[in-house]
Amino acid sequence: MTTEDFAAVCAADGELRLAVRHWTGGLRLGMGDQWTGFTAADGEITAGVPEPGQGVITITGPEEVWAPLLAPVPPRFAQISVLTAGSNAPLQRGLTDPLLWWQYLPAVKRAVELLRAPGAAEAPAVAESGPVPRHDSPIGRYVHLELDGCDHRVYYEEAGSGIPMLLQHTAGANSLQFRHLFEAPEITDRFRLIAYDLPCHGKSVPPTGQRWWEREYRLEGGFLRQVPRALAQALDLERPAFMGCSVGGLLALDLALRHATEFRAVVALEGALHIPGSREAFLGFWHPQVSNHAKAALMEELCSPTSPLPYVKEVSQVYASGWPPSFWGDLYYYLTDFDIRDRAGEIDAGRVAVHIMNGEHDFSGTVEAGLEAHQAIAGSTHTVMKDVGHFPMQENPAAFISYLLPVLDEIEARPH
């Protein structure tokens, strides 16, 4: 594709036109000895590779590094955010301003997608159908819980009957992520699913008894562990099962370690003993000059390239609509507070069943991290979910349910 053709394709793409709004500068992509890119003037794209300077994002690297990124279906960990992360990254950002990078990450991501070979396979579409109007299965309610001595109004929704199972969403998101499970009778005929929004997430508004707006929100393990326990007590649940993803996946193992007598089983989606990294690397997650669009774009990169596109976009919409400090604050637990590497051997899987499941395309809670946790926790199980990323229950529910059902069978068959 010539530079002129690339600029024309970019200018014609609706998603990219939205992502480059107000951008003056442009994109320089160096692939070996070849250069391509486009110039931007207040969001208008024109042909021409801009010179380095203010407002210009530059990414360079050898052709062999670019090749998998531009494949019709990129292989595992071939994402622009992964390949440009760190000073020794395979692709280099040059002198690109870090703030500019975060502001226009959605544009960079989409531009790279448009560079893929003609005929590149787009993730399959889905269409939900049925008579209208119709109701989905879950019923939502609010319950007041005492957490750290404060009255919190917490939203939850539920459907199904049988073994109660609490569902914890990912960092910065809400219980909408589990909506597809509520519509799966092969699950709800046997399990009472209860998905809740953490305080300050989704419909769980911050408490009126605190001046929360005067301090930085930060999710700590001591507070987080209270939420499912208090909810289980309020709903009179006797040793429920617990399933969480990402932050919730770490919480699953945390509960198994510290509160084994209160849960019959935990399912850790994208679970690990520890997630390496620093919150400071995520400048754009709570910067007043970066929109929630940047977080959404990065979350899309955590999905599998084969997941249905509407569901991948649903993942990003959930993140784009969240309270800006929530994701940044949740990362405190995810990256800083949680670390059970020295205590994982204390988990008694004979008392609380432990199931760890990791998507092959997740570059955060990786398959390798899940396997490490499995090996450290005697009696646990581990499942590698092919063609799935960091958000299995939302990005590809059909594939996820096929992996989940054998785990649920084990939970159901296990003596209470």
CB atoms near residue 150 (< 10 Å): 15
Distance CA 198, CA 178 (A): 14
Strands 44-46 and 56-61: unpaired
Residues found in the chain: 416
Distance CA 78, CA 112 (A): 11
Write down the pLDDT at residue 121: 62
Please name which of 157, 231, 156, 159 lies closest in space to residue 191, comparing C-alpha atoms: 159
Distance CA 372, CA 344 (A): 10
Alpha helices in 79-209 (DSSP H): 80-83, 98-103, 105-114, 179-182, 185-188
φ, ψ (nearest 5 deg) of residue 387: 60, 30
The DSSP code for 414 is: S
Distance CA 230, CA 144 (A): 10
* Rg, the chain, Cα only: 22
By the 8 A CB rule, do 151 and 144 touch?
yes
Please name which of 303, 285, 304 lies closest in space to residue 295, comparing C-alpha atoms: 285
Distance CA 300, CA 292 (A): 13
What does the pLDDT profile of the chain (416 residues) look like in tens digits? 899 999 999 999 999 999 999 999 999 999 999 999 999 999 999 999 999 999 999 999 999 999 999 998 899 999 999 999 988 899 999 888 999 999 999 999 999 999 987 655 666 777 788 899 999 999 999 999 999 999 999 999 999 999 999 999 999 999 999 999 999 999 999 999 999 999 999 999 999 989 999 999 999 999 999 999 999 999 999 999 999 999 999 999 999 999 999 999 999 999 999 999 888 888 888 899 999 999 999 999 999 999 999 999 999 999 999 998 999 999 999 999 999 999 999 999 999 999 999 999 999 999 999 999 999 999 999 999 999 999 999 999 999 999 999 999 999 998 87
